[in-house]
Amino acid sequence: MTWKNSTILTVTALVLAEPLLAQQSALEDAPVVALGDWRYDDLYSNGVSARDLIDREVYGQTGDEIGDVEDILIGSDGQVRSIVAEVGGFWDIGDTHVSIPLNRVDMSNGQIVVPITEDTVGDYGFWNDEPIQNGAVDSDIVEGVDDEPIPRAWRASELIGDYARLQNDDGYNDYGYVSDLILRDNQVAAVVVQPRSEYGPGYRAYPYYGYDSGWNAGSPNYDMPYTEDDVRDAERLDYNRLDNSLQR
């Protein structure tokens, strides 16, 4: 893990870690969407690829390029909270990571436009989040963040690249890896998997199952509540049909 990614992960955990009590309410038997009823129509009509957002250029309101998207912060409830961007080079202030609330990000015209200026960049630092202001973090280390699967906000890149696994009689078997997330209505709507070759070419999109289904952001595996028989006839995802104004 690079220093930069380690820093983002540490700050994310400190600022956005959520109470351990929430873990106790996680339901291993959370409702499962039957794949026979699962359709891509809503994803195609207004879904956005998280992978497509990451590394995109970020522009200020004057039209100048001021940085690029580093990651996407997502709450333990699956809601997109903010865009993490690296800015500063344009202003010669050094590379600076900022967290921009989603409601301050304009993506309507094919670009990512944020209200940050050289004078206001400090207003979008991680340490300006309300939990810090209210004293929710008392030290540089939060007990349990690194060694307990507590529900917390997480980065899209923490799930992208993980192994996707299917249920079997003995536990789980490898299905492929998570290659993308589809965001819709400001939340994670689907997890995109690139299956192993024996399952056929292309990508498949499946409903997102988060903390309330037993997943945690620290796991290297994304365990799906489906079997090989369930996914055998899964529809391929056609990225060309995504109604994504930022699509390459």
DSSP readout, 85-148?
Answer: EEE-GGGTS--EEEEEEGGG-B-TTSSEE----TTTGGGGSGGGSHHHHTT---SS--TTTTTS
- Tell me the C-alpha distance between 214 and 184, whole Å: 22
Give the H or E element holding residue 157: helix 156-159
Give the H or E element holding residue 230: helix 228-231
> CA angle, 156 as apex, 239 and 118 as ends, to 5°?
105
Phi and psi angles of residue 68, each rounded to the nearest 5 degrees, phi first: -150, 160
Question: Which amino acid makes up residue 190?
Answer: A
Give the pLDDT score at 61. 87
Give the pLDDT score at 88. 72
Joined tokens for residue 89: 């080079």
Q: Yes or no: say if 158 and 217 are a contact pair by the CB < 8 Å rule.
A: yes
Residue ranges of the chain whose pLDDT lies below 70: 1-29, 89-94, 126-149, 244-248
Give the pLDDT score at 9. 52
Give the pLDDT score at 125. 78
Give the H or E element holding residue 11: helix 3-16
Give the pLDDT score at 229. 95
Q: Pick from 160, 182, 157: which is nearest to 244 by CA?
A: 182
Q: Pick from 75, 69, 70, 78: which is nearest to 16 by CA?
A: 75
> CA angle, 10 as apex, 183 and 100 as ends, to 5°?
45
- Please report the domains of the chain, with CATH numbers, ordered by start residue: 158-241 (2.30.30)
- Tell me the C-alpha distance between 31 and 222, whole Å: 17
> Rg (Cα) of the chain, in Å, rounded?
19
